[in-house]
Amino acid sequence: MDTTNPPGNGRQCIDCLDRFFTEAGFETKVLGRVPERPQLITRLKGQGTAPPALLYGHLDGVTTDKQSITVQI
């Protein structure tokens, strides 16, 4: 799924991930000031016998299209 920013298309990706995590048994919450750029928070509750783990990611990649790099040796 292309989420390159601009335009981002984050809503479509967040909706897909929300369904995936919900079906896998995670608690999910979609938040955001702007409907087109939401954030997804998921939680898989443990048994409380181990330290928590936090995973973080982002969707708004930046394209390198029409960019070039000049290297001098």
- In the predicted model, residues of the chain with pLDDT beneath 50 are none
Q: Looking at the DSSP assignment, which residues form a beta bridge with residue 30?
A: 40
Cis peptide before 7 (omega within 30 of 0): yes
pLDDT tens track for 38-57: 999 999 999 999 999 999 98
- C-alpha–C-alpha distance, residues 61 and 8, integer Å: 8
pTM, 2 dp: 0.76
Residues 6+ positions from 10 with CB-CB distance below 8 Å = 3, 36, 37, 38, 59, 60
